[in-house]
């Protein structure tokens, strides 16, 4: 600090002698130091302290000036009675804060003994008064500044406390709003904090929490309704799936995956409607309503001209119509032959011609009437007209007797001991028994020529035990079945064992606990024609231990294992023109057979694959089968079989390899 600046701070004139005012300066300094010690808050204390430091610097500059002129003696540091090393630590109210302060505080400011230069009295008084006024102004200024600053700081302190309280309240409110997912209110709270305290970390934390919460809420909402939509979609509940998906898009319209799911739902609905038309057309073909079937298939092609399935369906309908015309012509030829043999005596061969004629042309009344007439030449037993129960009628029947069972539910079990013909009303004559009791029908060994038609055969409940009865059992006998329905048997729908023979035509085997049809043992033979084997809990048709099979035109769909499984040892296997679809393992497994042919079959959409051929079936000719769209490999052949011999089979669109060869199967 310069001497001029020091004089200005102390209120001295440019040439005024400071010595007469040294005691006054000392008193003023003590007053300022007391103000520091008694300041009401740290802000004022700091303000007073800054003034004290400036005052001490001015005193130090004046003293150095006087010492340099020799007008005052130099005083050593010990003169103040306090060694520098003994000085106490600075604290509030102390005047000792800086090295400058310590220097000034150690100045004893003694009375100057030298005689002062002569100064006129009046001037001295004037200078003395001026210095005194300057000191008073300094004290007044510090006092006013102190009081004003204290008042200002008190107001500011009150405002700051209110501001911090408001921020704390808003922060708490924002947290509660976030917890309750009230995002607009939460954002408003943190926006107000930002207005109060610009750049506050609380604001950025709050906004991040809101953003994270909104993302979490969005993900939870989307995840829940997406799961509902997918579950409904997989269950083919299209409306429920669509409703759940739209719940997401109403709130989050940019969800690409949900939009894609809606497209899949729409496509599935269209496909379901399309499939319903396909099913209807196929039913019309089976019911021989060929004109309606052709019209339906034509409508499908009109809607989608390149639809290969519709083209195939139309071809099937036209083919079936053409075949029906040929069959009708053949049926009329058989009717003519039977008429010539009608001599009012029972004629088994003529009756068989008429049966075949009725199969070929089921709607021809003349054929059915002739059959009724000629079949009546044998004894016709009617239940309940002639006998109250089916078993009573069976006990009274003999070979070639005709047993007609009326509509209703008839409780067995029944034992067939003669080659009788049992007829029911299709879909209305129901025969059943307890699952634990036995088979509904048992054809005993030695019986030949038994025939059952038009019957529904079922168990009353399901028995899950190890030893289960088939719905119908042919043990070492000959019995044929036509137009019967085998439903929900605990064991097999039909079991042919111990050398039994059966021809099964146009029957339905549905939801049986084991196979739809099982044929077992050397000498046993199954001839199955145009049957439906649907959703049985093992295979549609299975043969093993030397049984032989002739299978044609059957449909095996949705069975829990394979459509057809043949393990015939050296017995033959002939499998022609069957449809094996959507079974949970393979369409067909050919484990063993000594001879035969497998051709013209269509295997599609089976889960594990199309067809498996093992080495023990090497003598069976496997050709011209259509194996497509299975979820596993198309054709699997065991090591040792020549893959070239399977080249005529048509393999396409299978999820696994089209042809897998060289595999070793465990026995």
pLDDT tens digit sequence for 239-297: 888 888 888 888 788 888 888 888 888 888 887 888 888 889 889 888 888 899 999 88
Predicted local distance difference test score (pLDDT) of residue 80: 40
Predicted local distance difference test score (pLDDT) of residue 139: 58
- Extract the tokens encoding 313: 């369906």
pLDDT band at 349 (very low <50, low <70, confident <90, very high): confident
SS3 663: strand
Please determine, for residue 84, whether its predicted confidence score (pLDDT) is greater than 80.
no
Residue 220: how many other CB atoms lie within 10 Å: 10
pLDDT tens digit sequence for 355-393: 899 989 988 999 999 988 888 787 889 999 999 999 999
Please determine, for residue 521, whether its predicted confidence score (pLDDT) is greater than 90.
yes
Segment holding 365, helix H or strand E? helix 365-375
Domain ranges of the chain: 3-153, 378-514
Among residues of the chain, what percentage have pLDDT more than 70?
Answer: 86
pLDDT tens digit sequence for 397-443: 988 888 999 999 999 999 999 999 999 999 999 999 999 999 999 99
Q: Which residue has the higher pLDDT, 219 or 606?
A: 606
pLDDT tens digit sequence for 646-667: 999 999 999 989 999 988 887 5
Residue 356: how many other CB atoms lie within 10 Å: 16
Residue 359: how many other CB atoms lie within 10 Å: 18
Please determine, for residue 178, whether its predicted confidence score (pLDDT) is greater than 70.
yes
Please state, in angstroms and rounded to a whole number, the distance separating the CA atoms of residues 553 and 549.
13
CATH code of the region 378-514: 2.160.20.10
Q: Which residue has the higher pLDDT, 104 or 610?
A: 610
Tell me the CA distances in angstroms from 112 to 6, 23, 105, 317, 527, one per residue in order: 20, 11, 18, 140, 147
Of 2-6, 151-155, 361-365, 451-455, the range with the lowest mean pLDDT is 151-155
8-state DSSP, 438: -
- Which range among 76-80, 140-144, 578-582 has the greatest average pLDDT? 578-582
Please state, in angstroms and rounded to a whole number, the distance separating the CA atoms of residues 425 and 422.
11
pTM above 0.75, yes or no: no
pLDDT tens digit sequence for 539-594: 999 999 999 999 999 999 999 999 999 999 999 999 999 999 999 999 999 999 99
Q: Which residue has the higher pLDDT, 87 or 538?
A: 538
């Amino acid at each position: 600090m310069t001497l001029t600046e020091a004089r200005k701070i102390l209120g001295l004139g440019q040439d005024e002698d400071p010595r007469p005012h040294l005691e006054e300066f000392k008193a003023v300094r003590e007053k300022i130091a007391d103000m520091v010690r008694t300041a009401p808050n740290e802000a004022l204390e700091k303000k007073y302290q800054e003034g004290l430091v400036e005052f001490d610097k001015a005193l130090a500059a004046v003293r150095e000036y006087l010492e340099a002129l020799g007008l005052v003696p130099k005083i050593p540091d010990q003169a103040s009675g306090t060694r520098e090393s003994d000085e106490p630590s600075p604290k509030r109210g102390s005047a000792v804060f800086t090295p400058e302060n310590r220097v000034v505080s150690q100045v004893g400011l003694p009375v100057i003994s030298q005689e002062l230069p002569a100064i006129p009295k009046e001037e001295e008084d004037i200078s003395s008064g001026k210095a005194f006024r300057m000191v008073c102004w300094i004290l007044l200024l510090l006092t006013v500044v102190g009081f004003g600053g204290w008042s200002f700081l008190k107001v500011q302190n009150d405002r700051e406390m209110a501001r911090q309280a408001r921020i704390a309240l808003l922060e708490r409110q924002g947290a509660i709003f976030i917890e309750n997912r009230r995002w607009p209110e939460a954002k408003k709270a943190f926006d107000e904090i930002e207005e109060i305290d610009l750049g506050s970390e609380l604001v950025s934390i709050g906004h991040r929490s809101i953003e994270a919460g909104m993302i979490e809420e969005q993900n939870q909402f989307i995840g829940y309704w997406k799961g509902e939509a997918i579950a409904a979609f997989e269950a083919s509940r299209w409306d429920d799936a669509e409703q759940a998906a739209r719940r997401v898009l109403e709130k989050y319209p940019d969800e690409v995956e949900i939009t894609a799911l809606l497209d899949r739902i729409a496509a599935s609905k269209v496909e379901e409607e399309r499939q319903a038309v396909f099913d209807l057309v196929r039913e019309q073909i089976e019911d021989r309503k060929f004109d309606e079937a052709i019209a339906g298939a034509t409508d499908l092609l009109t809607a989608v001209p390149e639809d290969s399935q519709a083209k195939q369906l139309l071809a099937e309908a036209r083919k079936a119509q053409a075949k029906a015309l040929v069959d009708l012509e053949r049926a009329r030829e058989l009717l003519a032959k039977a008429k010539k043999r009608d001599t009012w005596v029972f004629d088994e061969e003529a009756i068989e011609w008429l049966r075949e004629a009725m199969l070929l042309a089921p709607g021809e009344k003349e054929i059915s009437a002739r059959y009724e007439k000629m079949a009546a030449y044998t004894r016709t037993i009617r239940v309940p007209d002639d006998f109250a129960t089916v078993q009573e009628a069976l006990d009274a029947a003999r070979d070639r007797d005709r047993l007609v069972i009326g509509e209703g539910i008839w409780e067995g079990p029944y034992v067939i001991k003669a080659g009788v013909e049992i007829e029911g009303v299709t879909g209305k004559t129901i025969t059943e028994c307890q699952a634990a009791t036995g088979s509904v029908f048992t054809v005993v060994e030695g019986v030949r020529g038994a025939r059952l038609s038009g019957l529904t055969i079922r168990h009353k409940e399901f028995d899950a035990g190890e030893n289960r009865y088939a719905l119908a059992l042919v043990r070492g006998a000959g019995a044929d079945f036509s137009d019967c329905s085998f439903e929900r048997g605990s064991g097999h729908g039909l079991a042919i064992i111990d050398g039994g023979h059966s021809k099964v035509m146009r029957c339905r085997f549905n939801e049986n606990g084991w196979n739809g049809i099982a044929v077992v043992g050397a000498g046993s033979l199954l001839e199955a024609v145009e049957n439906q084997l649907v959703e049985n809990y093992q295979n549609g048709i299975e043969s093993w231990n030397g049984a032989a099979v002739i299978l044609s035109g059957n449909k095996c769909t949705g069975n829990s294992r394979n459509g057809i499984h043949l393990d015939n040892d050296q017995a033959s296997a002939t499998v022609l023109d069957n449809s094996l679809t959507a079974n949970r393992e393979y369409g067909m497994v050919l484990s063993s057979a000594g001879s035969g042919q497998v051709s013209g079959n269509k295997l599609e959409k089976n889960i594990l694959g199309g067809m498996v051929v093992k080495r023990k079936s090497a003598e069976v000719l496997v050709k011209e089968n259509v194996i497509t769209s299975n979820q596993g490999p198309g054709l699997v052949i065991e090591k040792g079989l020549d893959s070239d011999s399977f080249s005529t089979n048509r393999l396409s669109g299978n999820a696994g390899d089209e042809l897998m060869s060289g595999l070793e199967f465990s026995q």
